Each structure stands twice: as structure tokens, then as C-alpha cells.
Structure 1
Amino acid sequence: MPAKPVLFFSFRSPYSWLAIERLRKARPDMHRAIDFIPIWNPDTEFTAALAAHKSGFHYAEMSSVKHRYVLTDVRRLARRDGLKITWPIDRNPHWELPNLTWLASRAQGADERLYTAMVTARWEGGSNICAPQTLRRLALEAGLDPDMPTKALRDADVRAEALHCLQRAWDEDIFGFPYFRIGPHRYWGIDRLPDFLAAWRQPAQRPSPAGELADVEPVPAFGEDASGGCG
């Protein structure tokens, strides 16, 4: 059987939202055909659990100047895609709440409905999806128990699945969002979505990992250059 595509996504990332909206148009069956893995900035408890498993979190916070650029860039891309954006303000967000709620919804087959409700509320409505009252309302919209958010935070099985998602991102060197994988092939960022879709449509024509690197010149100082040097 061919490898099932994997998408590491983030409710926090506007580029993740935009890429998945484009993906939805190309593959309306995406939630069933792709293994969606949510990733978020872990709280102290999950950070400690990751450290206990010799794992961590690869993502690095962006600088203020990059953040200002992203504000303009995302608005430009959203307008190009015919989407309205109302930029949310995240004040002391607890990202476990929306992500564990979404994981709990997946066990009930409602992950697509809840995902859509959450990203619409966040990126088009500017809502704080880390607020319990907001998630209660969104759970109801998705036909779920409005108490699911608080229950998910305490559910041992959901917490174990959440930890597994974060560990998998660490083990697979996921450093940004969206991040697509199909077999050994990797595609990072919204601008790599067409390449991912092409590889998915034509598995027989995918280059081998060695072939993808065939034209890359060796870099003797790999690992010694300044961090962030590639932009």
C-alpha cells in the first residue's frame, strides 16, 4: 500500500490555515485521505513530559520584524484566495485546549466539522479559540458535547495521543507549518503545496530522496553556518 500522506498543521499558524483552505479545494476528502497531526507550543506539563521522553519542540519564535512582515503577507495571500481575515489577538493562550479538543473530536468522527468551525472562528472572526467559552460554542456548532473541551484536558487517552503528536513532530524534525510528508518526501510551507499535490497524484513519478538531492552542491560547513541564515 502507498504511504498515507501526513500533514503537520497548527491552529496558531495563518500559513497552515491558508494552505489547508487551498488543499480543501484540491482534495475535498483531505480529512480522510491525509493523516492530520496537530502541533502547538506545549505548556509546562507537556514540555516536562517531552523532556522525560528525550523529546522537545523544534519551532522557534519569530522576531518582531518578521511578525510585522507576516501580518502584511498573510493579508495579501488571503485576499488573493478570496478569504476574509480578522487577525486574532492571542493573550496568554493555552494551546492544549483547542488541540486536545480537536483530537477528542476525531475519535467521534467530527474532526472535519470542528476544524472548520475553529479556523473560521479564529481567522475570519478573530476569536480566541483558547477561551473555554469559545470552544464550548464551537463544539455545539460541530454537534459535539459543549463540555468536550474541559473533558479533553483531563482525558488520559487524549493526553497520551497529544503527547504522541508532539513526540512525532520532534522525531520527524518538524520545525514549521504547514509541513507535508508523503513517504520519505518532505514539503514545508504553503508554497510547496503544489509540489506535494503533484507527488501525491503521481506516486510512480516521485523522485527518490537521493534524486531530490542530486543537484545540491555539498556544503562542507553544514551545521556550522549561522542559524536563520536561509531566511
Structure 2
Amino acid sequence: MASRPRKLRWYFSLRSPYSWFAYRDLMSKHPEVLDRIEWLPFWEPDEETTRLLADEGVTLPIVAMSRAKNFYILQDTRRLATERGLSDITWPIDRDPCWEVAHLAWFAAEDAGRGKDFVAAAHRARWQEGRNISEPEVMAEIATELGLDADVLANAHKDPELRRRGAETLAESAHDGLFGVPFFIHGRDKFWGVDRVEQFVKSVGATAAPAASAEKAPDPATHADQFPVGGDQGHAGGCG
């Protein structure tokens, strides 16, 4: 009897700076790993998605973030950005965001064969261009950039089928034991956080390889004024 293939996946979030750092690290050093693993989005659900999860008896491990942790993440993000030569990073201001807008749009882009390109564009829009990825108009703009149907991506959060798929993915994350992002799985082994990227890569037997298509990072710089305290109040449930 043939053995089942070992689970090989990562959960990413378009909200999390740590997920963005992990994506950039993999793109620049181990693009072959990104081609091998299953990509699954994670986000804090709105009321409708929460209801769908509750109907299936699923509760996500999401908790409110303390003020002290929020300040720490602002400081830590500056450090990690500087280490990666990211002088143009911006800390978005998210007021009452609906994360379904961007993450369900990912499903639509993935169906069109452009899921990975969408992640790159959404990260760039959020962390380098200061755009609000919870606005349907921004999803339409990204769709146009990628040559996709702008109406489909802009209205993905209104699509009942994409809602159902999104809820199923979040439920799967709970079954996988996810408690923060980025979150990597190789068989029974789990790796949480951007500082576990290399360990995950080593576990799957990959070797470092420069990415020819990776974005060239700008010169290192520290811009503390780009990280206002009144911005996004952190990532409930923890982040890596």
C-alpha cells in the first residue's frame, strides 16, 4: 500500500508584516520551496465568516492584543525591515478592516492561476505603497495590474461560494493547530514565525538558491516615523 504524501504547506496572511517578511525571505533565497508547498491564507474573520465557522463548531484561537505587545511589534518590525534593507516600508492605518476583501480575492486570483502574483501585489500595496487592501477598489486595481477581472476580485467577499471556501480554509487552519502566522507544516512538524523559515526549508531538504525574479531591496535605513502608534493595532492570535 502506497504511503500518503506528507503534508507540505504554509499559512500566510496579507495582514501580517511577519508573513510578508517570510514571503520575501523565501522568494529571495528559496523560491523552489514556494513552488513546492501548498499556500493557504489566514485572517481574522468578520461576523459572517465567524458564523459559518460556528456552524461547524470551529473557534479560532484569536485573542485581543495587549498595548505592550503592540508597541513591541512596531519596534520589532522596524528591526526586521532594516535587516532586509526595506527603507520604504509603511505601517498601514486600518480602521475597521474587513480582511475577507483581500483574502477572498486571493481565492479568485488563485482560481485564475495568479494566486502567487496576487500575494506579491497585495503585499506591495499594503507594506510599500500604503494602500488599504480592505477596500474593494484596491482589489480592482490589483486585478487590473494582473490582467484579471476587476469586478470578480473587488466583489470576492460578496461571493457565497468563496465565503464557504474561505471558512473551510480557516477551519482547516484550526485542525492544523495554527495559532499565528506565518505557519509552516511539513508532515507532523510545524514551524511558526519568520525566524523558523530556514528550519522549515531544511526540513524539506531544499537548498538555498537566489531568486532571479525576486525584488531588489532598497538600501537599509531606519524610519521610525513611518510606524505611527495609532496604526494597525496588531495581529490577534499572535504572529511570528
Query: Normalising to structure 1: TM-score of the pair?
Result: 0.83
Query: Is the aligned partner of 1:101 residue 2:105?
Result: yes
Partner SS, residue 57 of structure 1: coil
Letter in 1 for 2:196: R
- The residue number in structure 2 matching 1:160 is 164
Which residue is 2:30 aligned to?
27
Alignment of 1:37 with 2:40, yes or no, is: yes
Partner residue in 2 for 1:134: 138
Residues 45-60 of structure 1 correspond to what in structure 2 (within 5 A)?
45-60=48-63
**Counterpart residue type for residue 177 of structure 1:** V
Paired with 2:114 and 2:33, the residues of 1 have a C-alpha distance of: 14
Distance 1:150 1:86 in 2: 23
- Cα shift readout 1:184-213 (whole Å, capped 9, x = no counterpart): 0000111111110100117xxxxxxxxxxx
Deviation track 1:118-166 (CA, whole Å, cap 9, x = no partner) reads 0001011121100111111111111111112344223333222111111
The residue aligned with 1:190 is 194
Q: Give the letter for the 1:107 counterpart.
A: D
Verify the 8 A CA contact 2:105 2:156 in the aligned structure 1. yes
Aligned counterpart, 2:78? 75
- Structure of higher RCO (CA pairs closer than 8 Å, 6+ residues apart): 2
Q: Percent identity?
A: 38
| Aligned residues of 1:57 and 1:170 also touching (Cα < 8 A) | yes
User: Aligned match of 1:65 in 65, 68, 71?
Assistant: 68
SS of corresponding position for 1:66:
helix
Asked if 2 retains the 8 angstrom alpha-carbon contact of 1:152 and 1:158, the reply is: yes
Q: How does 1:143-154 map to 2 (within 5 A)?
A: 143-154=147-158
Match of 2:20 in 1: 17
Q: What is the one-letter code of the residue matched to 2:22?
A: A
Across the aligned residues of Structure 1 and Structure 2, the Cα RMSD in angstroms comes to 1.7
SS at match of 2:191: strand
For the residues of structure 2 that align with 1:61 and 1:32, how far apart are their CA atoms?
Answer: 34
After superposition, give the CA deviation of every residue in 1:1-55 in whole Å (9 maximum; x if it has no partner).
Answer: 6425210111111111101110112222444311111111111111111111000
Counterpart residue type for residue 9 of structure 2: V
Q: Specify the SS of the correspondent of 1:103.
A: helix
Which residue type is aligned with residue 26 of structure 2? L
Moved over 4 A (4+): none
The residue identity in structure 1 corresponding to 2:21 is: L
Give the match's secondary structure for 2:10.
strand
- After TM superposition, the structure 1 stretch with the greater mean CA deviation from structure 2, 54-63 or 38-47, is 54-63
Match of 2:231 in 1: none
Structure 2 unaligned residues grouped into runs of 5+: 207-236
- Name the CA distance, whole Å, in 2 between partners of 1:176 and 1:129: 20
- In structure 2, C-alpha distance between the alignment counterparts of 1:38 and 1:161, rounded to whole Å: 11
Alignment gaps of 5+ in structure 1: 203-227
Where 2:204 maps in the other structure, the secondary structure is helix
Q: Are positions 1:177 and 2:181 aligned together?
A: yes
Give the residue type in structure 2 aligned to 1:72. Q
Distance 1:49 1:98 in 2: 18
